[in-house]
Structure 1
Amino acid sequence: MFRKIGLVLLLLIGGIWLFLQYPFNLNQQVPGVGSPNEVESAKVDQSDIRSLYDAQRSGVMVSTVANVTRILKDDNDGSRHQRFLIETAEGLTLLVAHNIDLAPRVPLSVNDQVSIYGQYEWNNKGGVVHWTHHDPNKSHPEGWIIHLGKKYE
């Protein structure tokens, strides 16, 4: 009897651990499915952000690991956004606009490393990454910021 309970507990703990290691999103959109004006939801890593910049492309979900180079004043017009600059490994400077009406503020300092998943928008200064939060309407790919092991979405 105790062996069966122990086995069930072991399987339950293993399942929870596996879920936490490899989270999934049932609402994740599939690239190429949906309306034509939807954002491209294919994941692009930092080596391809330079290609997006060079091609002046926007509306693509990207992920990158980068260092915070500057903390900017919050944008309080309309939805409030925490703003900061990051520099990618290839030297591209990006403005991150993180919606703090939908997601918690990230407690950042200059030189902190962050992992970011959000929507890239081209500009001549390097670009902007936004949509780094959940989407309450479930109509847009959800983004996030990871800082010191904590996920902000």
Structure 2
Amino acid sequence: MLKTVIAAFVLLSCSGAFALVSNDSDLVQAIHQDQNVNFIEAGNMVVTQILPDDTVGLPHQRWMVRLSDNSTMALIYNSDMGDRVPLQIGETVAAGGQLIMGEQGPLLHWLHADPKGRRPDGYIYANGVYYGGK
């Protein structure tokens, strides 16, 4: 589902409250502390690579992004949970989801609504459009 968001920052509805996300400092800190986080948000991430879709099991779009400390990480979006995200290299995105510290590096997953309501809804925000939420 798409929602157009008119704001200079990411505007995320979470339990009826709105929060502005304009940087990646919490995400960078969690990665440096090697922490898995059930839900975390970050902004100003720059797309550095568009990876091939993962078509084994549920379909996922995958990208690499650069963070403010110049490290990189993967964003993994379950593309059957919402519209495809038309990202290009060099674009700036924001996202909220589950941080997993994997063997191949950190990744941000669950970038979509949770149909069972067990976790906060994830999202990707790119080019003024909000992807993956309800």
TM-score tier (shorter): 0.7 to 0.9
For residues 114 and 23 of structure 1, the distance between their equivalents in structure 2, rounded to whole angstroms, comes to 13
Report the CA distance shift for 1:134/1:27 in structure 2 as closer, same or farther (over 3 A).
farther
Q: Is the 8 A contact 1:97 1:129 kept in 2?
A: yes
Residue correspondences, number? 119
Of 28, 47, 50, which aligns to 2:25?
47
Contact 1:69–1:87, Cα closer than 8 Å, also in 2: yes
- Identify, as 1 or 2, the structure richer in helix: 1
1:128 to 107, 110, 130: 107
Distance 1:139 1:81, change over 3 A: same
> What is the identity, as a one-letter code, of the residue corresponding to 1:152?
Y
1:75 aligns with 2:50: no
Query: Which whole-Å deviations, capped at 9, do the CAs of 1:29-85 have from their partners, x for residues lacking one?
Result: xxxxxxxxxxxxxx9x62132322222211332211211000000011111100000
What is the TM-score with the length of structure 2 in the denominator?
0.77
Larger Rg: 1
Computed over aligned residues only, the root mean square deviation of the Cα atoms, in angstroms, reads: 2.5
Instruction: Output aligned runs, 1:85-100, within 5 Å.
Output: 85-100=64-79
Runs of 5+ consecutive residues of structure 2 not aligned to the other structure: 1-10
The alpha carbon displacement at 1:120 in A equals 0.6
Letter in 1 for 2:46: N
- Percent of counterpart pairs with the same letter? 28
Structure 1 residues 129 and 23: CA distance shift in structure 2, 3 A: closer
2:35 aligns with one of 26, 33, 57: 57
* Shift of residue 125, structure 1, vs aligned partner: 4.8
- Deviations along 1:98-120, one digit per CA (max 9) or x if unpaired, are 00011211001100111111111
1:124 to partner: Cα distance: 5.3
Look up the equivalent residue of 1:150 and give its one-letter code.
V
**How high is the TM-score relative to the length of structure 1?**
0.68
